[in-house]
Structure 1
Amino acid sequence: MHIEVDQEKCCGAGQCALIAPDVFDQRDSDGVVLLLDPEPDESARAVVTEAASVCPAAAIAVTG
């Protein structure tokens, strides 16, 4: 699994960081998503997929 984030699209809602804190975080200055692990273990697929699906800006892409 590979994850990409579009920081330009991110609105800073923070749902990704709440759902998958080992994979996503937020910048302190503006809340924009930070990708901590672009290729997490397969065991994280469910939470990563959920985080991507609830992102209001569709700023998270999951492939593979």
Structure 2
Amino acid sequence: MFRSIARLFQSIIIQSLVIIQTFSCHILLMLSRVFLFLSIFDSQSSFSINSFHSLVSELIK
């Protein structure tokens, strides 16, 4: 009984982690597209790209 409950919780936790990972990947892709779009029109494109890279490196840590 207890083992089946533990397995159920484990599968729920793993599924939620997978969902969170894929969701954050989609957010990062959207952010990168937005920054690329802005950098085309922005004269300070290097600043926006550098801040985005630092944001990504902070999220990966």
Q: What's the TM-score once normalised by structure 2's chain length?
A: 0.29
Greater relative CO (CA pairs within 8 A, separation 6+)? 1
Higher strand share: 1
Q: What's the TM-score once normalised by structure 1's chain length?
A: 0.28
Higher helix share: 2
